[in-house]
Chains A and B, each alone.
Chain A
Amino acid sequence: MSVDRRELIRTGGKLLVLTTVAARAVEHVMAGTVDAIQRELEAEHWWAMAIDIDKCIGCGGCVRACKTENDVPLEPFYFRTWVERYRVPAVDEEHPHVDSPNGGYDGFPAASQADSEAKSFFVPKLCNHCAHSPCVQVCPVGATFESPDGVVLVDKTYCLGCRYCVQACPYGCRFIDPRTHTVDKCTLCYHRISRGLTTACCEVCPTGARALGDLKDPDDPIHEFLRTNMVHVLKPQMATGAKVYYADLDGSVR
């Protein structure tokens, strides 16, 4: 078979155009896989939260403030943040009594006398804004994601309401909003922190038991908090990269 020059140029030209088009197409298809790490390095903040168990008085102010600020349905009792009361029998660390009446929305009724012997304390909970969130990994459509500044957010216009993420979250921090049938969760008050305010829960916390922190800001008190306290994250064995740091957390807390 012999190929003359013109034919060669023509076929070659077509191939060239085709490969260029194909390359553009591949680029377009792969666009969803940008280097997220790079975005995170470039971002201005890396948000986290510090919680000091010894300061929490269980007033429920954070729960009420969160519901108001973020228009979380009052009932049924879904929460973006809630407070648990632990009562741990001295000889049985593995079986704490945990209650959280209405998530702590109305505070806590005084414990019965029978329990007063037990060690007891409050544990505020919220989304841990994991750096490697299982909830983000299971979302089939990319409707939940880690923002470049380290906040796990939901794209409500894009969420299917399939509930995979609700099941995937090891901390129980997600629920389906009965009004929109899409998933809802703590946004770390993204609308506040991007305006320079602190979160609603931290705003009203009377004792500073919870404090928003920016790990990228060298002057942020969270560094002092992490340095000077015995710090723990919830379920570290899940390797979720949780960024809610608890000081003085008891081993019984799950």
Chain B
Amino acid sequence: MPQPLKDARHLVRMAGLFLVAGVGFLVLRSALIPAGFGELGHYRSGALDDNARVEPRFAGRGACAECHDLAPEELAGGAHAAIGCEACHGPLAGHAADPDTEVPPALDTRSLCATCHAAEPAKPGWFPQVVAAEHAGDDACDECHVPHQPGV
């Protein structure tokens, strides 16, 4: 019986070594590379969900109107109408989900109003600005302005 590979046995052994190395590489590779890697690109596709799973802390503009009908109407037409509720009231996703256990903190208008309205040359000229001490003395801003309808 002819043996075609008789003189090439060293080549076969060599090929065998390569095969073992190749398989070893693949086994190691699948052990080290996490599931989903390469599905969408050069990354683990599950990382998209990891990033998306975080719970929001700001409920968003739509959420408040569900329970507070009056406030949005109060705001409508006023200079503050375009401002999101949570820009002034702070993050309230917890409150919107369960209003009984998480009550929004009371706001101190003197510091709140100043975060936006304190005079500063870098602010654009169209934006209404005041130097609180000259404008209001020691008074709280809501003694003269209604926060939801600030025009006087």
Q: Enumerate chain A interface residues (CB-CB to B < 8 A).
A: 1-4, 7, 11, 22, 25, 28-29, 31-34, 36, 39, 54-61, 65, 68-70, 85-87, 107-108, 110-111, 115-116, 120-122, 142-148, 153-158, 187, 189-192, 194-195, 197-198, 200, 203-208
Contacts and interface: CB of A to CB of B under 8 A. Distances in A.
A95 B12 CA distance: 71
Main secondary structure of the interface of B (DSSP, over half): loop
A150 B41 CA distance: 13
B84 to A, nearest CB: 5
Contact of A120 (B41, B44, B84, B121): B121
Given A85-B122, A153-B51, A155-B50, A32 B38 contact: yes
B44 A65 contact: no
B49 to A, nearest CB: 9
Contact of A204 (B2, B86, B120): B86
B124 interface: yes
B82 interface: yes
Interface residues of B, number: 48
B42 interface: yes
Contacts of A116: 121
Interface in B40-68: 40-44, 47-48, 50-58, 60-61
A7 B56 CA distance: 68
A154 to B, nearest CB: 8
Nearest to A11: B4
B14 interface: no
A148 B48 CA distance: 10
Given A4-B2, A153-B47, A206 B40 contact: no
Contacts of A36: 40-42
Interface string B21-46: 01000100110001001111111100
B55 A191 contact: yes
16 contacts: A32-B37, A36-B41, A61-B116, A68-B91, A107-B115, A111-B121, A122-B123, A142-B43, A157-B34, A191-B52, A192-B60, A204-B84, A204-B87, A205-B84, A207-B82, A207-B127
A204 B84 CA distance: 6
